[in-house]
């Protein structure tokens, strides 16, 4: 007799076997090893930025527009076409596909900043040490992952661009999904360049906004003219955050840190939150039943880069309660692997 558990286990094994089989096949054909580099090169050259969806563009024209060797570019496009990023052939030329659009810098779901992220690539080359020691592999000196961005503007700007891309791709829908009607002042703690806070204020124009982040981040925000409707405040969220706001946001912040550090950040929020206010934590929730979810892979990334971790619902409950918060509700963000944890 086959039980439901047997059926579930069999389906899981079959899915896992298929994934492993496909992965090993791709490794044997060199695609897994080469594809990330081919995509990075396509982004650095700006190939997708000079192509459109409707008409196949001759390779010679594309090569001239991006200052590339026509034969080398033809071979690159031919390979990426087999993976679905472009369509066409060397004779008639290539056009952009919906998947390839994500290589464009101006696409709302762009992956371009992530694909050229040398920081992560270098950290992963040293990542075996992380699994021996439990310590992050990112080599940023004493300041760690974020400290280096305070002293190297190029690294800081590149990081902010990746965060904007990531927000737009993964959880900007939170602006429409959450009820902001009772929010008068929204404090975005660690809000990067203020992209999400700006989206929120566009659907909640009655509210005021405070953007809070590292001084080097706020300097960049001010250089770009700030965020409409927001006051930008520099500081250190381990020490203190601005007081008076009735709604606090922590968006994709807590996963950067250990449980002890996350509790310190949450305590800073708790001390500053207005009476009767709420905290909204936007993060991925690791499934507690072990099912497939992108958070498992992000968890490894956090461990290697920052020493942080992704958490399941129980993990968030634990750190929130340690800081004096209680979970009020959890809202899944539509078409996103992220959720909103509301705490009070």
> Hey, which residues are catalytic here?
255
* CA–CA separation, 316 and 262 (whole Å): 10
H/E stretch holding 331? strand 327-332
Rg of the chain (C-alpha set)? 22
3-state SS string for 199-217: HHHHHCCCCEEEEEECHHH
* CA–CA separation, 81 and 92 (whole Å): 13
| Cβ pair 209, 229 in contact under 8 A | yes
| CA 254 and chain centroid, separation | 13
Name 59's bridge partners: none
Nearest Cα residue to 86 out of 113, 115, 49, 111:
49
Nearest Cα residue to 173 out of 253, 98, 218, 108:
108
Nearest Cα residue to 135 out of 332, 305, 319, 310:
305
Our CA angle for 216, 117, 304, nearest 5°, is 85
DSSP line for 247-294: EEEEES-GGGS-HHHHHHHHHHHHHHSPTT-EEEEEEEB--TT----T
Token couple for 214 = 């590292």
Contact residues for 1 (Cβ-Cβ < 8 A; gap 6+):
none
* CA–CA separation, 121 and 127 (whole Å): 10
State whether residue 91 is helix, strand or coil: coil
Instruction: Compute how many other C-beta atoms are within 10 angstroms of the C-beta atom of residue 265.
Output: 21
């Amino acid at each position: 007799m086959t039980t439901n558990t047997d059926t579930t286990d069999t389906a899981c094994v079959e899915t896992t076997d298929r994934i492993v089989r496909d992965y090993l096949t791709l490794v044997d054909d060199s695609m897994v090893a080469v594809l990330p580099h081919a995509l990075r090169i396509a982004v650095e050259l700006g190939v997708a930025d000079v192509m459109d969806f409707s008409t196949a563009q001759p390779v010679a024209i594309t090569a001239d527009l991006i200052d590339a060797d026509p034969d080398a570019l033809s071979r690159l496009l031919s390979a990426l076409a087999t993976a679905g990023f472009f369509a066409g052939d060397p004779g008639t030329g290539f056009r952009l596909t919906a998947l390839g659009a994500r290589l464009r810098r101006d696409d709302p779901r762009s992956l371009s900043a992530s694909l050229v992220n040398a920081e992560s690539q270098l950290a992963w080359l040293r990542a075996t040490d992380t699994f021996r020691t439990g310590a992050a592999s990112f080599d940023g000196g004493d300041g760690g992952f974020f400290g280096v961005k305070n002293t190297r503007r190029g690294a800081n700007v590149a990081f902010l661009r990746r965060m904007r891309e990531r927000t737009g791709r993964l959880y900007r829908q939170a602006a429409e999904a959450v009820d902001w009607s009772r929010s008068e002042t929204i404090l975005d703690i660690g809000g990067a360049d203020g992209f999400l806070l700006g989206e929120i204020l566009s659907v909640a124009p009655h509210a005021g906004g405070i953007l809070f982040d590292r001084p080097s981040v706020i300097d960049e925000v001010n250089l770009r003219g700030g965020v409409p409707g927001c006051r930008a405040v520099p500081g250190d969220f381990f020490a203190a955050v601005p007081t008076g706001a009735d709604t606090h946001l922590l968006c994709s912040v807590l996963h950067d840190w250990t449980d002890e550090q996350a509790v310190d950040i949450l305590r800073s929020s708790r001390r500053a939150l207005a009476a009767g206010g709420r905290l909204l934590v936007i993060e991925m929730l690791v499934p507690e039943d072990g099912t497939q979810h992108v958070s498992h892979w992000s968890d490894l990334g956090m461990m290697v880069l920052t020493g942080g971790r992704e958490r399941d619902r129980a993990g968030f409950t634990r750190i929130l309660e340690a800081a004096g918060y209680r979970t009020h509700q959890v809202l899944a963000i539509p078409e996103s692997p992220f959720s909103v944890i509301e705490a009070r």
